Structures are given as structure tokens and as C-alpha cells.
Chains A and B, each alone.
Chain A
Amino acid sequence: MNKSVLLASSAIGAALLMLSVLPSMAQTASSPLDKVTPVTDATLLKPSDSDWLMWRRTYNGWGYSPLNQINNKNVKDLSVAWTWALQLGPNETTPIVHDGILYIQNAGDTVQALDGATGDLLWQYQRSLPQPLIAAAGNNLAKRNMAIYGNALIVATSDVHLIALDLKTGKLLWDKTTADWSKGYRYSAGPMIADGKIIQGMTGCGSAEPGGCFIGAYSPKDGTELWRDYTIARTGSENNTWNGIPLDNRYGASVWIAGSYDPDNKVVYYGVAQPYPWIAEINGLLPASKEKGITNNALYTDSTLAIDPDTGKIKWYHQYLKTDTWDLDYIFERLLVDLPVNGKDTKQVVTAGKLGIIESLDRDNGKWLWAKQTVPQNVVTAIDPKTGDKTINPQAIPHIGATTVNCPADPGGRGWPATAYDPQNQTMYLPLNEFCSNTTPQPLDQGQIYTGGGRATFARFPVPNGDGKIGRVDAVKLTDQSTTWSYRQAAPMTSAVLPTAGGLVFGGDWNRYFRAFDAATGKVLWQIRTSNAVNSFPISYSVNGKQYVAVSVGNGSSQTTSLATLAPQIAVPQTGSSLWVFALPDSDTAKTAAAN
């Protein structure tokens, strides 16, 4: 090697060295990322009040913030701290906040780390997705949550991979394919961490995925699959609940919402969605077989599964709705509460399905405890007070060649926007919508490849003899299942609710309003009109002693486009997804600090 080459290579080497150092020099000078600490099992078990470390903040699924700087006395002064434009498309997201950094997954899997106090971009990861997925857009590109563990952000992607991103740099640490997106497998919810494992549910399991969906556990080191639970029963007596249909001809049982975790009992609780296609006469669950020992309940659809996170063993299950033929999932968040039932302290797992019926189980054994109706419904005519078994209104069952009425309908009296629980007043808050549907089964074969997707036409309309109001927020005291208050409005409710220790409940709607309700009375104490539909999961966190409330807004989820048909008078922009972050003026913050 001659001297000039050596000199040249030395110069290039020095330049490269400088280039590689520059970003980290910038970070070491002023980056808030330096303060980011690894997230351990202990951190997840007892998170700092300042942080929001998982989908519903804590393992019990409450979605409750213990922060009280913003409270029912000063919320009137709440104002915009900063905003951040998000990628085009539905952003149903839940930010994660840790050590002052707000991590957010945009539509289309752009993941960003932002300074939680200022909104400054610290790093960004952009997933390169297959073009057909980008073109399909819609819910294909929306994700509802991420997980954080160790030094990594764990992300479920639209091309059905699990990936780990370095918390401080956004660098891809590992990337694992978990299923084939081209066959229809999808992630719409993200992972949770339980017992040192990544737990992730799979969705999209239609007719191209015989045998249905599954919940998997994956190693946080490299994404290696550790176990898999299929959510369509395939063994034992549960195998005989599919009307005699072979396993390969059963579809659905998607898992499109993350679970909850009881670390004391080491049990993960997940919901399972309905059979596909939705209409039972199409999917083969009707007419019911007369064969002895065969039912058409379709386990484990519309159930809670209690799973050992170490082995994947299903400890127990409870099915809320047998032979679901309406797309009335019981998939949503599971609230783990310890409250008395009939005078006896009971560990409960509480959830509400699309019917809007709140139901509680003993989370030690799955025994059904109680139910509470919210929105008008005509599908269930009676609930057995001991077992929870439901008597179904035969006139609400859809039939090929007929139009039937069911209330509510897809997308549900409550949809994926989550309910929440306030331990201060033992109250569950629910974002709800009241409506009915003329339901007509439709064939799937318009184009040989292209289908109607909906498997039925849902012509939605307001509840007959009602006042035309669609949106609603209910407060239900879980100690006696009494309704403390019910707020009703014309615009559909489209966001999850966020109770805080400040005596507030935040929530938003299709009409772009984001509101703070008094947790005790339901009175609207503050509201702001944002730039788009509030269709995500609001959170609260604090940085350097200042509390923030954050919520993303944006159009395009299938839930909003469905509910929009009930409110044709409301115009919402097609574009303009963004993250809104609110805080009190510094003067109010100082006052609250002094009072505390």
C-alpha cells in the first residue's frame, strides 16, 4: 500500500470517526435521552407516577393516572403545551412515556421519541412496509400500543413482525417475523410484557387462515417464539363446540387488544374476538348440529382466557357470548379490581363487550359474578344470575335473505376505545355509543379476490324513540354497579377515557372535542376543539414535576368511519393527524406544588 493511499484512508477514517461521533456528542451535550434508564420487571410492577409504561399504564388495565397537579379546581386553565404532526392515517395509538421521553407509534409504523416536555424530536424509526399494505391503508396501518422492556421499545408492525428498538437511539435491535401478512394476518394491538416475556395477540384470521388466530409469547432478547395458544379450541371437549366443523374450516377468534396481568397469581388475562365471517349461517355455526356432544358455542370466541405466562397453559376460560353472529366482540381491556361481591372481598376481572354489558368474573377461577347493562340492546333477553349464560333474542339473529334489527351493532355500544377504573371512587368509566342496525348478510364474492369485507351490511340508525343522541360516557361504581352519572351528546364518543387522581376523567369524540369531566358528577369542566377526531387513548405523565395530558387525533379508523354514518352533520378532516399535549400554565403548576 503506498503512502498516498494510507494518507487518504487515514483522512477518510478520521472523517468517518467524526461523523459517527457527532450525533452522540450532540446527545451527550443536551439530550434528555441520557437520563433514560432500563425498564425492569420491578419498574413495570410499580411504575413511577410520572411514567406511562404500557397500554393501560399498569398491569391491572385501569388506564388511571395517579397524577393530580391538573385537577378539578384548575383544569379550566389547561392549555396546549405543544403539538406534533403525525403520519397520515388513523392513529389509534397510546404513547409510552418513560423518564421524560414520549415514544409514539404513528400510522404506518413510524416510531418517534419526543421530549415529553417540549415535543422536540429525539429520534425516529421508519418501517419500510410492502406497498400493498400501504395502499390498503386504514386499520392495517394503525397500532394501538407498544411495550417497553430493558433498553428496548417492543413494537408490533403492520407487516406482522415484532421488532425491538433501542430506547436511546431508535436503532433496530432485532426483527422477528411472526406470521405471513399476505395471508391476512395482522397486528392492530401491540404487545405487553408479563413475567419477563413479550405477549402478543394475532388478528385478521379470516378465511385465508384456517384454524384461526393465536396468542404468542416471545423472548425479549431476540423475539424467539416461546409458546403459542390457539384461540380456536382444537382439543378436548372444547374442540366439540364448532358445530362439527373441522379445525381447518373454522375462522376468526382474533386477538386484537392487549391483555392485563396479575403478577401475584402470575396470570395473564386476554380477550378473544368473534368467529369469522361474522354471520353464523355463513361461518357454519348455524343451523345447529343435532349430533350428541356437539355444540355451536365456538370456543374460545368472545371469551376471557386466563393464561400462565410461563407456559401458555390456559388455566380457565369464560365465554360471554356463544355463537356470536353480529360482530359483537368481547375482546376489550380486562380491569383487575379487588372489591367485595356480596360482602366478600373478591379478586375480579371486569370487562364490557360491544353489547355494552359490563361483566365480572372471579379472576382466580373464572366464576361469573355479575353483569350490568349500559346502552340499549336487543340481543340478550336474559342473563342467568348464577352462570352469566345469556338468552338470545331469536329475532335479532341475522339470516341470509333477510334483514334483521340488532342494537347495538358493529362497531359496538363500546368499541376499542378503552374503559378505565378510578380506584379513588371505585368507579369504572365507559365511552359508549347508542345505536341500532338493520343487518343484512351479504355474499363475499363481488370480485374473485375482492370482498365486501363486512360480511353483512349494517345500516346503522339511532335508537328508535330516543332523542337522537349517540355518544355517551357512563360512570359505574363497581362496588354496587350503580350508575353514578351518564353524560350524553349527539357526537359519537371515539376515544378511550382517562381518569386521574385530580378528580378528572378525560375523553374525546368524533366532533373533535377533548373534554375533562368531573369524575364525581360528570360535569364538563374543560374542553378544547382539536384538529381532528379524538380517536385514541389519552395518557398523562409528568416531566420535571410538571403534569401533561397527551392524546392523538386523526381520522380513518374503521370505528370512526362506521360511527360517522350516525352523525352525518359532523365534518371531520380527512388529513391532519396529530398529537396534542396539554399542561397548566406555570403559575398554576407552582400553586399546585405549593398546595401539595
Chain B
Amino acid sequence: MVAGGGVPPAIPFHEILVVMTRSARALGRALLAVVLGVVAVAPTMAQDTPYVPDEATFGRNRDNYSLNFCVDPRDPAWQVDQQIGEAIAGALLIQAQVTVIKDPSTQSDLDEMYRHLLADCDIYFGFKLLADDYPDWLTITRPYYDVGYVMVAKDPAYKQLSDIPRDRPLGPTVGTTADFRLVQYLDSLPDDQRWPRYPMGDDRMALQSLADGETAAALVWAPSLAALAKTNPAFSELHVISSAPLPDATIPVGAVLLSKNTFLRSSVDQAIQSLVADGTIEKIITTNHFAAKLPQ
């Protein structure tokens, strides 16, 4: 290792890791699995749930004869989700107790969910079924609908992604599942074939940049587009284009609850299944003119 005055020789371990190629990493993963196996049998004293200092004060579920669920008005689909929650409660022959979360924060950390699930509700609607993307203390129900991300353009000449000149920037909402697919697609292209990518803080910013002409296309959550277009006339002039060859970014949506609530999860899953089968979910989607499909 080359370094400044006073820097010692390379640390041997560092050299080991430098030569750790991706193929060799499989061996590393195997070793890690052994390490994790050891950890798993050790006393589980580590903090595996978010830190809530007054956790002991919340106690157990207050009422076994109601479905206490949360929805969040910051989620554009919250009213549809509320109706689905009420339908699930009806299918379970229990009362729906709805808590509408009132939080002016633009965004919240997933850890904050833990407190809501201790203090406010047993189940929280409006979460995407993403593989390996939830902490161990959370579990997700089976999906009650599928909905996705859409690529949106302002220029009527753009019908699909390939219509957009390569020097015109794309404005995806940063870090979404669809954005990840876009990043991977752009990475696969030769340098001179890549569109510039401007990461947008949220769907509103993405659509505003598009409306202002700063970007040529936005990549946003379809329910956001529908909700924002109702309040901003400039957004209603935007149109959805084909994002091909990007893979379809339709995502199943369900509800989250604490992993330990296995009985509730099982009951809700059965209720969702029956509500999909008897057409209730479809009716809610249709009545609300909501851009979702029944779960596949």
C-alpha cells in the first residue's frame, strides 16, 4: 500500500479483501453463513426491533373484536386501502377501527412503523411486497392489488422510452424499485447511449420537473400521478408512455404487521383471498377509478 508519511504497511486483511472477487465471494458468503449460524444459536440479546424507549407501556392489543388498522393520507391510495381494510374487517365479522395517521413529515423511516404498530394499530395498509426488503420484525400480508410505476412524458411525440433523445434527462423518483431497474438498464448501455438521470426527491418533484421541461420523462408511482393530476392542471397534460425495454414495474401491494402476529396475518390473508375471489376488491378498485389490477 502506498501512503503518506507515517502510514504503516498494508494491513494483511485488507489485501485479503482486495482479492476477494465476486466469484470468491460465494465462499465468503458460505463462511458468513457459518458465522451467522453461530450467532443465531447465541442468546438473542441484540436489539432486533427499533428502539422505542417506552415500549413497555403499550401492552397488548386492546380489542380482539375489531380490526385496528392504520392508513396514511400521505399515501395517494390511502382511501382505497381504507375501503379494503373495512372490507377485510367485514369478511372477518369484526369491526373496523381505523386510525388515520396524522404526520406532516414529508417522509418517515420504516422504523417509525414499529411504534405505530405498538401504539396505534395492529396492521398498516399500503405497503409494497418487495422481496428481502423488510426487517425481520415486520411481515407483509398477501397482496390485495397490483399497481405499478409509470413512465410519463410531456412531449406528445414521445410514445416510448426509445423516442426520447439520448441527451435529454430522465427524472425518476429516487430509489424506487422502478428506478433501480432504470439504473441497471442504463448501466448496461454504452456510455454514449445512456440518458442522463436526475434523481427526484418525490413524485411531485418528478412531475414538476417534467412539466417545467427540465426532464423529458418522469418515472413515478401510478397512484401518485392520478392523485397529483387532480390538483395540478399542468400534470393532467402529461401522458404515460411505454417504458420498454425496462421490465414491467408492477408491484403487489398489501399490509404490514408485526411478525409475531401470525394468527392475525393468517386471518387477513384468508379474508383477502375471499374478497378477491368474490369480486369485492375489484369493485372497490373500479368504483374509485383506481389504476390497479387484481393480484396475480
Contact = CB atoms under 8 A, between A and B. Distances in A.
Interface SS of chain A: helix, strand, loop or mixed?
Answer: loop
Contacts of A464: 13, 16-17, 28, 31
Given A283-B199, A284-B199, A466 B13 contact: yes
B180 interface: yes
A564 interface: yes
Contacts of A459: 32
Interface string A201-245: 000001111100000000000000000000000000000000011
Interface in B1-56: 1-8, 11, 13-14, 16-18, 20-22, 25, 28-29, 31-32, 35-36, 39, 42-47, 50-56
A282 B201 contact: no
B119 interface: yes
Nearest to B103: A132
Nearest to A457: B132
Contacts of A384: 2, 4
A209 B134 CA distance: 25
Nearest to B138: A446
Interface stretch (B183-191, B274-282, B288-296): B183-191
A263 interface: no
B196 interface: yes
Interface string B192-223: 10101111111001000100001000000101
Interface in B93-132: 102-113, 115-116, 119, 124, 126-128, 130, 132
B75 interface: yes
**Most A C-beta atoms less than 10 A away, residue of B7, B55, B202:** B7
A445 B221 contact: yes
B198 A249 contact: yes
A403 B33 CA distance: 14
A446 B126 CA distance: 9
Contacts of A281: 183, 187
A368 B4 contact: yes
**Most A C-beta atoms less than 10 A away, residue of B16, B17, B29, B110:** B17
A251 B200 CA distance: 10
B51 A555 contact: yes
Contacts of A365: none
A461 interface: yes
A545 to B, nearest CB: 38
Nearest to B13: A376
A370 B5 CA distance: 5
Interface string A244-286: 1110110100000000000000000000000001000111100
Nearest to B208: A248
Given A183-B106, A377-B14, A574-B56, A561 B51 contact: yes
Given A207-B201, A246-B198, A448 B51 contact: no
Given A207-B201, A249-B198, A556 B53 contact: yes
Interface string A386-402: 10100001011000111
Contacts of B200: 207, 249
B86 interface: no
A480 B175 contact: no
Contacts of B184: 400-401
A248 B76 CA distance: 24
A450 B110 contact: yes
A442 interface: yes
A447 B107 CA distance: 10
A385 B133 contact: no
A568 interface: yes
A312 interface: no
A168 B116 CA distance: 40
A105 B183 CA distance: 44
A400 B183 CA distance: 8
Interface in A442-464: 442-453, 455, 457, 459, 461-464
B1 A381 contact: yes
B32 A277 contact: no
Contacts of B104: 130, 132, 182
Contact of A448 (B55, B76, B134, B256): B76
Contacts of B55: 574
A142 B13 CA distance: 36
A369 interface: yes
A574 B7 CA distance: 41
Contacts of A208: 106-107, 201-202
A570 interface: yes
Contact of A449 (B18, B25, B47, B107): B107
A153 B99 CA distance: 40
Nearest to A375: B11
B110 A448 contact: no
B112 A246 contact: no
B160 interface: no
A243 to B, nearest CB: 9
A543 interface: no
A377 B46 contact: no
Contacts of B22: 395, 402
B82 interface: no
Interface residues of A, number: 102
B176 interface: yes
Contacts of A452: 109-110, 133
B43 to A, nearest CB: 6
Interface in A355-394: 368-373, 376-378, 381-386, 388, 393
Contacts of A209: 201
A309 interface: no
A447 B175 contact: no
Nearest to A376: B13
B77 interface: yes
A283 B179 CA distance: 11
A370 B7 CA distance: 8
Contacts of A376: 11, 13-14
B91 interface: no
A205 to B, nearest CB: 10
A450 to B, nearest CB: 5
B242 interface: no
Contacts of A293: none
A206 B138 CA distance: 24
A457 B54 CA distance: 26
Contacts of A402: 22
B68 interface: no
Given A208-B106, A376-B14, A568-B45, A383 B127 contact: no
B289 to A, nearest CB: 18
A280 B166 CA distance: 21
Interface string A533-570: 00000000000000000000001100001001101111
A287 B187 contact: yes
A321 B249 CA distance: 35
Contacts of A244: 196
A575 interface: yes
Given A207-B107, A370-B5, 20 more contacts: A132-B104, A135-B103, A136-B108, A137-B51, A207-B201, A207-B202, A251-B199, A284-B174, A287-B187, A371-B3, A381-B1, A381-B14, A395-B17, A443-B130, A447-B110, A447-B127, A448-B76, A453-B109, A463-B13, A571-B43
Interface of B: 1-8, 11, 13-14, 16-18, 20-22, 25, 28-29, 31-32, 35-36, 39, 42-47, 50-56, 72, 74-77, 102-113, 115-116, 119, 124, 126-128, 130, 132-134, 171, 173-177, 179-180, 183-184, 186-187, 191-192, 194, 196-202, 205, 209, 214, 221, 223-224, 256
8 contacts: A137-B52, A208-B106, A282-B180, A290-B191, A373-B11, A443-B176, A453-B109, A568-B43
